[in-house]
Chain A
Amino acid sequence: MTAQDRGPEDSDHSPRDPGLQPERTRLAWRRTTLAATVVAVLAGKSALRGGPGVTTFVVCALCCGLWLGFLGVAHRRIRTLSGAVPPAVFTPRHASAAALCTIALAVCATALVL
């Protein structure tokens, strides 16, 4: 199959955005998830430094949970963005869920530092 054979009609069902805006937003979500992963790994490393214990376990579990929460929010949004054009609007509830996960990670970090 040559390049000329691939017309717009058999590439996708939905019309493509010429500026690839949904795709860029999707990648922004991916980058943010990656940043959250780095923070979660640092949190795990910090928690495990003091050796095993109840506090270590609780904080580790909490950080993993928050990371999963963030991942869930990002995944839902990424799925919406890969669907129809224009995609559904981003709601304040989604935005606050993502921000609250971030803030809760910072609170865990404070508990680990002190």
Chain B
Amino acid sequence: MIEFVRNVRLWFAPERIGEEGATPDYRFSLANERTFLAWLRTSLALIGGGFAVDQFLPDLRWAWRVGLALGLLAAGVLCALRAVNHWVRCERAMRRGEDLPVSRFPALLSIGVALVAVAMVVVVLVGWEG
């Protein structure tokens, strides 16, 4: 948790990341930036999915529709936060010459998305309409 707070402080203080270690090869930094953008696109896709559930399943019962949509939106927010945090951690690890950070977030996200997808299939097939 303390580590996370320190990372959050780094988001808004760009000059502090430059104080540590040596500047890595710019190609590695650009690759890290593209990974960040890929996570941000994942986040945007989840948010779009939330909108889609809300708009294209209008016959569904209110609780199910809103629950699924909010689940996808929350996953999108988490994904965006994690994108920045992971980018900062990778950038710092590269500057210090350490190993890149590992994370269980991709596994958790895939399990979450799978659960939402199964719930959606069940809800649409059973047809719990409002």
Q: Which residues of A contact B (CB under 8 A)?
A: 17, 19, 21-22, 24-25, 28-29, 31-32, 35-36, 38-39, 42-43, 45-46, 49, 86-87, 89-93, 95-96, 98-99, 102-103, 105-107, 109-110, 112-114
Contacts and interface: CB of A to CB of B under 8 A. Distances in A.
A106 B34 contact: no
B47 A102 contact: yes
Interface string B100-118: 0000000000000000000
B47 A109 contact: yes
A28 B14 CA distance: 22
Chain B interface SS verdict (over half): helix
Given A25-B34, A35-B44, A89-B26, 11 more contacts: A21-B27, A21-B31, A32-B41, A86-B26, A90-B29, A95-B11, A95-B36, A103-B80, A109-B47, A109-B51, A109-B73
Interface residues of B, number: 44
Nearest to A93: B14
A29 B37 contact: yes
B84 to A, nearest CB: 5
Interface string B63-107: 000100110011011001101100110010000000000000000
A113 B73 contact: yes
Given A102-B40, A102-B44, A103-B81, A96 B73 contact: no
A96 B54 CA distance: 28
A110 B43 contact: no
A32 B44 contact: yes
Interface in B4-21: 10-14, 17-18
A28 B29 contact: no
Contacts of B66: 113-114
